[in-house]
Amino acid sequence: MPAFDYIALTDAGRKQRGIIEADSARSARALIRQRSLTPVEVMESKRKGEKNWGRLWLGTVSHGDLALLTRQLATLLRAGIPLENCLDVVARQSESQAVKRVILSVRSQVREGRTLADSLGEFPRIFSDLYRATIAAGERSGYLDRILEKLADYTESQQQFRQKIQLALVYPILLVAMSVLIVTGLMVYVVPQILDVVVNSGQQLPTPTRVLVAVSDLLSGHGHWLMLGLALVVSGAGYCLKKPRVRFAWHKALLNAWFVKRFARGGNAARYTSTLAILSQSGIPLSEAMPIASAVCSNLCFREATREAQQRVVEGSSLNNALAASGFFPPMIIQLIASGEQTGDLAGMLERAAGAQETYLQQRVATLVSLFEPLTLLFMGALVMAIVLAVLLPILNLNQLVGA
């Protein structure tokens, strides 16, 4: 039974929005009238969701909503409630209209015979490749409740880490924004008026002052063109990155770039290992789990390396040797996987390796964020000091000339 979004009028003439399930739009209008409402607009939720998926993802369906509904589904399925009823309960309990619309749309497709993973695929910006691939593995293995619990743990941990980073970045971002506004205001409005007196005096300007005058003239006279050029560069880069070859080359550069490669490799390795651990614990053979784990890697070059590792495993190589041959996995993960293969506890060691790598990355990111604030203060302080010195030097020279 499909879901419909509706806009109706109450007896007092106020607009009311909601979601209702019905066999057709006509039945939906009849049900709305039974609620003493006058239907104004009725639209199937699925179509509206497909049309406005970008708005749903950018605004209403947050990472917190996703973590919450995943935990609710896992809990209900673990209690033995059928999937269709679980989706209905989650939709009713949600306070977000967007979540209700999405879940009811998914429920209607599940009732039509589609799998949960395929139904979630209608909203790719809400449910990621990792999310859908993990659920698909759970449906194939028959352990959907266990998979959802693991997925709920993973989603909640990612949400908590994301919140920590966001809270830690609030003050530095505000500081940078205010600093940029203040420096831009100085360069465009204040500095030219102060330097006019010095420039008109005819004295030889110091090098820092000449540089400051050139930058000030550039910003005040061509600032809008600079902003337009920057926007074009960003748009052009985004367009080029949509091409597979360019994107693959860029991802390869990230995996080999100094300093960045530690995070690019570690993040993809943690995601791959975590997915492989979840699938292995669900009883899925390694040959079937590795392609699914490869699909959730965001880096195309890393994804290709894991597919080559899968081919080596099919040919008879051990997992640790196959992954080590790629050169992208940290030694700690390789050693833990080798230990798991020797002891017969590969799934447990994969989970331990993924957890250790995620903890390491979170600590590194937290350290960088904590260093960002003082470094920003030092940089902006040095920039303001340079501007002040460039303004004061010719004024001091002018005073010396007058005194002489």
CATH code of the domain occupying 53-157:
1.20.81.30
Give the separation between CA 110 and CA 135, rounded to whole angstroms: 14
Give the separation between CA 65 and CA 350, rounded to whole angstroms: 28
* pLDDT single digits (tens) 131-157: 887 788 778 777 788 888 878 887 887
* pLDDT single digits (tens) 298-311: 899 999 999 999 99
Give the separation between CA 263 and CA 274, rounded to whole angstroms: 16
Range 182-404 classified under CATH 1.20.81.30: yes
* pLDDT single digits (tens) 4-28: 777 887 877 777 777 776 777 778 7
Give Dmax (Cα) for the chain. 96
As a whole number, mean pLDDT of residues 386-401 equals 73
Is the pTM above the cut of 0.85? Answer: no
Sheet holding 15-21, edge to edge: 15-21, 3-9, 38-44
Residue 272 to residues 279, 297, 298, 310, Cα–Cα distance (Å): 11, 6, 10, 12
* pLDDT single digits (tens) 314-354: 999 999 999 999 999 999 999 999 999 999 899 889 989 98
